[in-house]
Amino acid sequence: MKDVRIGLIGTGGMGKAHATAFKNVPLVFGNEPARPVLEIVADLDAAAVEKWAGEFGFNRWTTDWREVVADPQVDIVDITTPNHLHAEMAIAAAEAGKHIYCEKPLALTAVSAAAIVEAVEKAGVITIVGFNYFKNPAQALAKQLIEEGELGEITLFRGIFDQDFLADPHIPFSWRLDRKLAGTGALGDLGSHTIGLAHFLLGDIVEVCGLMSTVIKERAVPLGGSGYAAKAGEDAPMRAVENEDITECLVRFANGAIGTIGTSRVGMGRKLGLDYEIQGTKGSLYYTQERMNELKLYRHTDPEREKGYKTIYTGPEHGDYGVFFGLAGIGLGYNDQKIIEAHDLITAVALNQPAYPDVRFAYGVDKVIDAIELSARERRWVAVSEFD
Ligand SMILES: NC(=O)c1ccc[n+]([C@@H]2O[C@H](COP(=O)([O-])OP(=O)(O)OC[C@H]3O[C@@H](n4cnc5c(N)ncnc54)[C@H](O)[C@@H]3O)[C@@H](O)[C@H]2O)c1
């Protein structure tokens, strides 16, 4: 057994999810081929990060992320900070020879993502980007069914990612609404997952025609805090929202399929509405993240009297489900996807092999995001290759 030592940057929502995942990797997957060690964590507030480091069992803490990157004890730099910091941190990590775990979207623009890819490939370090939703065993099954031709030739992909965490106009301003800190709005935050899932399942999107809308044009400036739970005072000043609440987009895939991708952060009633339908010449698949342990399959070859979608409950036959439970239908949760993702990275680093999805994959997603934004701005179809 080998130790792979983690240097985490950021202790917000995703910092907690990553630290929890690393702690659980040996409990779920065992100690081979390596065991993650929570070596050092960085965030801005000394008292808060010291307390957090103690609670999660990190050996050391700091308020300077550069110490994490330069630390000879660290094997993997794990970046869970707001989007605008990913590029600087990832490039510094690659230049220091560290392997990288980075949250999505990889960067604010495809140009910036390309700079990360260049630094990573020059350094020869191993990377994984947090497109955790396709670590769900249900997606491993979906991919298998598609690759085995169960759906025939794929004709249509309709994917959405809607949440309503910003539907209430009284929810205050946060970094997610600041163009310089977040990049696009719903598209980069949520839609990046749908684009990633579409690329994982069907291959690349090559052409897009997008439309964007900002529904709530200004929000109150909060008293403090950056996360989902931030609050603003009664007479707080208002600040203009700088990116979109909703994106809708027509897409064309390299394999000839067409489709739509839609995303909203003000989608009333949708809590984790990452849904898709994939139609082919022989059958279809339907999935919603709100029922993440189920995949619906329609086979047109079924006898006439039995035709209809059937529900497959995920089980040990599918992806990494079997390391959690020996029986189907018990069900995994969001954090289990992160445990699988963290385990994939630890394994790749221990065995010195590529991890998936890496920064080059994430660069492909960022190119689609830029193409959609340009298309919406200029009201025209845009080829993703414009961002190569
Ligand atoms: N994969 C997913 O399902 C998923 C879900 C949510 C967020 N994300 C991504 O994770 C990233 C973080 O999102 P979040 O919701 O955790 O945000 P958050 O606001 O909850 O946490 C960000 C943390 O980074 C810290 N930070 C900011 N600047 C720093 C610096 N210079 N040095 C050290 N720490 C610094 C903040 O203090 C905060 O603790 C974003 O890129 C987001 O898109 C991914």
Residue 330 — pLDDT band, cuts 50, 70, 90?
Answer: very high
Residue identifier of the C-alpha nearest atom 20 of ligand 1: 12
Cα distance from N-terminal residue to C-terminal residue, the chain: 41
Q: Ligand 1 pocket test: which of 9, 11, 14, 136 has the largest number of ligand atoms within 8 Å of its C-beta? A: 14
Domains of the chain: 2-130 (3.40.50.720), 133-354+366-378 (3.30.360.10)
Span 215-237, pLDDT tens digits: 999 999 987 666 666 777 778 89
Residue identifier of the C-alpha nearest atom 5 of ligand 1: 14
pLDDT at 225: 62
Q: Look up residue 37 and give its two tokens.
A: 């060690």
Q: Look up residue 173 and give its two tokens.
A: 């301003």
**Looking at residues 183-208, what average pLDDT do you find?**
98
The strand pair at 294-299 and 99-102 is best described as unpaired
Please give the Cα distance from 73 to 69 (Å, whole number): 10
Within 10 A of 211 (CB to CB), how many other CB atoms are there? 15
Alpha carbon of 175 to ligand 1 centroid (Å): 9
Q: How many helices (H) and strands (E) does the chain have?
A: 12, 17
Span 116-174, pLDDT tens digits: 999 999 999 999 999 999 999 999 999 999 999 999 999 999 999 999 999 999 999 99
Please give the Cα distance from 113 to 126 (Å, whole number): 16
pLDDT at 36: 98
Amino acid at 191: G
The ligand 1 atom nearest the CA atom of 45: 37
The ligand 1 atom nearest the CA atom of 86: 41
Alpha carbon of 11 to ligand 1 centroid (Å): 7
Residue 183 — pLDDT band, cuts 50, 70, 90?
Answer: very high
| pLDDT above 90: residue 25 | yes
Alpha carbon of 116 to ligand 1 centroid (Å): 18
Alpha carbon of 176 to ligand 1 centroid (Å): 10
Alpha carbon of 348 to ligand 1 centroid (Å): 24
Put simply, whether the predicted model's pTM sits higher than 0.95 gets the answer yes
pLDDT at 325: 98
Span 286-295, pLDDT tens digits: 999 999 999 9
| pLDDT above 90: residue 78 | yes
